[in-house]
Structures are given as C-alpha cells and as structure tokens.
A = this chain, B = another copy of it.
Amino acid sequence: MMKGVAYNQFAGRSLERLCALSDGVFAIAMTLLVLDLRVPAAAAIHSEGELWAALVALAPRMATYLMSFLTLGIFWTGQQTQLNQFSRADRHLAWIHFAFLAAVSLMPFSTAFLAEFIGYRIALLLYWLNILVLGAVLLGGWVYACHAQLFREELTREMDRAVTRRIVIAQGLYACGAALCVFGTAWSIGFIVLVQLNYAIAPPVRWLSRI
C-alpha cells in the first residue's frame, strides 16, 4: 500500500525536464503554425503581378499566424514565469502542465480552423476556448503550487496577487473580445490582437501596465 504512494512521491519531480518538454512543445507549435501558409501552385502563376496577387491573398492567414504566435509567446512567458519560481515539480504539477501543453499543441489546429472560417462565430469561439483553457490551466497550476508549497523562496503576497491578477484580467479581456463577435468576428479579432500587443510590447503607460 505504501508502495503505490511511494511511487507517486518520487515520480515526475524533475523541473528541468518539464521545462525542456514545454519548450519543445512550444517550439513545434510555433513552427507548425507556419505550415498553414501554403505556397501557391506554380502552374497557376504566369507573371510577377499574378505572384504578387497570390501573395496578397495569403494575408489573412499571415494575420492569424501572427496572432497565434503572439498568443503562444504570451503563454510561454506566463508558464516560464511560474515555473521559474518553483524549486521542484511533483507528479500533480507535471499533469497540470501536460493539460496546458495539450492546449498549446491544439493551437495550430484552432488557428488553421479560424483562418479557414474567419467569418464564422464558431471558429472564433473555438479559438477563444483554446485561450480560455490555456489561462484556466495556468491559473490552476499556480493555485496548486501555492497549495503544495513548491516555491523556491517564500512566496510574497504581492507576487501571488500579481500573477493571479494578470491571468484573470487577461482572460476577462479575451472574453470581452470573444463577446464582440455578436457584431462580427473582425471586431473580435481586432480587439484580441490589441490586447495581445499590449502584453507583448508592455508600453510604459501607467493605466495600461495595470491591466
């Protein structure tokens, strides 16, 4: 009886390997996104003008590609910031982050789905659902780590709040963006990209950095 317990007590403790697996999954998801940018067929192109037109026709896919790259960058930073505070992993933390990585590896699918059906609300909601799961699992991982005391140093109340606040506000903004699809999916996408650019660039503006 103690034996089964013992296994779970020493299983999955390497934080380095969890980081390495995560970096691998993120790297592949970031690169697979680009597979959706398909080179036009040479047979249909007969002049520089036609090639230019074919390139311009790829613009919407390029836009969803960049939006998803931003999303993955934001969540990579979020996950790294968390894991960086921990002194060790345990098997539960590993499984929470597997769920996170499953959502990461679905991102190329959600992106391709949105690029193909950019005017459809279902495609937009599926994309948002993917972001929601990413945020929820990341928050879950943080709450679990607080509970299981995996931190390297004493966790300050300030840092706990900063991380929780960050995830909750970001998810609130993404939900607003998704809700905008009642006016049209273009409004949603525009709003979400603005939110993401704010997180990526982090402009030194007081009220923005409070978000």
Does A148 belong to the interface (CB within 8 Å)? no
In the complex the two chains form, is A117's CB within 8 Å of B51's CB?
Answer: yes
Q: Are B21 and A23 in contact (CB under 8 A)?
A: yes
Scan A103-123; emit 1 where CB is below 8 A from any B CB, else 0.
001101100110011001111
Q: Is A6 an interface residue (CB 8 A)?
A: yes
- Does A25 contact B30, Cβ atoms closer than 8 Å? yes
- Judge whether A161 and B3 touch: CB under 8 Å: yes
* CB under 8 Å from chain B, chain A span 47-99: 48, 51-52, 55, 66, 69, 73, 76-78, 80-81, 84-85, 91-92, 94-95, 98
Binds B, one of A31-39, A133-141, A172-180, A186-194: A31-39
- Tallying the copies of this chain within the complex gives 4
Q: Is A154 an interface residue (CB 8 A)?
A: no
Q: Which 5 A-B pairs have the closest CB atoms?
A: A24-B27, A20-B23, A28-B31, A73-B98, A7-B162
CB atoms of A42 and B116 under 8 A apart? yes
Give Cα A108–Cα B30 distance, bound, in whole angstroms: 13
Q: A7 to chain B: which residues have CB within 8 Å?
A: 81, 162-163, 165-166
Determine how close the nearest CB of chain B comes to the CB of A102; give it in whole angstroms. Answer: 5
Known: A3-B158, A27-B21, A27-B28. A81 touches B12 (CB 8 A): yes
A69 touches B81 (CB 8 A): no
Bound together, the chains give a CA A33 to CA B166 distance in angstroms of 31
Residue numbers in B under 8 Å from A85 (CB-CB):
10
A104 to chain B, nearest CB (A): 8
Question: Within the assembled complex, what's the spacing in Å between the Cα atoms of A165 and B5?
Answer: 12
